[in-house]
Copies of this chain bind each other. A is one copy, B any other.
Amino acid sequence: MSSSKPSATEKGPSGRPYHHGDLRRAILTAALDAIAADGPSGLSLRDLARRAGVSHAAPAHHFKDRAGLLTAIAAEGFGLLATTLRAATDLEEAGVRYVRFAREHPAHFQVMFAPELLRTGDLELTTARALASDALREAVTAVPPEGRGTDPRLAGVAAWSLAHGFATLLLGHNLEDPVGGQDPEEVFRKLARMLFRHSG
């Protein structure tokens, strides 16, 4: 496992190569695993270091802080969300993709909306968030406002609130009974159609 890059990283006595090779990514994925399991609060940098097989202070070099690590995760999440949303054709599809993103990347999603854990002023984070925000706004304008004179900003807030609330409640296991055995995406589609009735 550690011999994937034999020539560069192999070390003799201690068995631990000094240069991990891709420690940043290793710690990120380990963190995503841990967060998906126990939430962002239970995260331990030292535990991540142990999982990656490095010393306890190694993560600090790539992400300065605990907040730095979480900020990097949030930024990555907003980036992923932006590309996902940009591929949506209409607003309903954007909402479905929003919910799907939350289910497929629960760790990212949780961290993205936990402001007190993040370095909110971080440049990488704010730009990624702006990208996602733009993608959402674009999806809102793509919905045909035929026959319904709703303020597009209001429509955006409505769509975002519905998708965000549904996704959040889903991740928190608060929607067990009502959803039953149905596919969550299909359930959300029905909710979205309740919001934006195509004038029927």
Q: Please report A residues at the B interface, Cβ cutoff 8 Å.
A: 38-42, 113-117, 150, 153-158, 160-169, 172-175, 178-179, 187, 190-191, 194-195, 197
Partner of A39, one of B38, B116, B160, B169: B116
Q: Are A157 and B178 in contact (CB under 8 A)?
A: yes
Taking each of A113, A116, A165, A169, which has the highest tally of chain B beta carbons within 10 Å of its own beta carbon? A165
Which residues of the other chain, B, contact A166 by a CB distance below 8 angstroms?
157, 161, 165
Copies per assembly:
2
- 18 pairs, CB–CB < 8 Å, chain A vs chain B: A39-B114, A41-B41, A41-B114, A41-B116, A113-B169, A113-B172, A115-B173, A154-B178, A156-B178, A157-B187, A161-B161, A161-B165, A162-B162, A162-B195, A164-B165, A165-B167, A165-B168, A194-B195
Which residues of the other chain, B, contact A158 by a CB distance below 8 angstroms?
162, 191, 194-195
Closest 6 CB pairs of A and B: A165-B165, A39-B116, A161-B165, A164-B165, A161-B166, A41-B41
Q: Are A168 and B113 in contact (CB under 8 A)?
A: yes
Q: What would 18 more interface pairs be, CB under 8 Å, given A154-B191, A164-B165? A: A38-B116, A40-B41, A41-B41, A41-B116, A154-B178, A154-B187, A157-B175, A157-B178, A157-B179, A157-B187, A158-B162, A161-B161, A162-B165, A164-B169, A165-B165, A194-B195, A195-B195, A197-B197
Cα A195 to Cα B162 in complex, Å, equals 10
| A45 → chain B closest CB, angstroms | 14
Q: Known contacts A39-B117, A116-B41; is A161 also within 8 Å of B162 by CB? A: yes
| A143 → chain B closest CB, angstroms | 12
Which residues of the other chain, B, contact A155 by a CB distance below 8 angstroms?
194
Which residues of the other chain, B, contact A178 by a CB distance below 8 angstroms?
153-154, 156-157
Q: Are B173 and A169 in contact (CB under 8 A)?
A: no
Which residues of the other chain, B, contact A157 by a CB distance below 8 angstroms?
166, 175, 178-179, 187, 191
Q: Known contacts A41-B41, A117-B39; is A161 also within 8 Å of B154 by CB? A: no
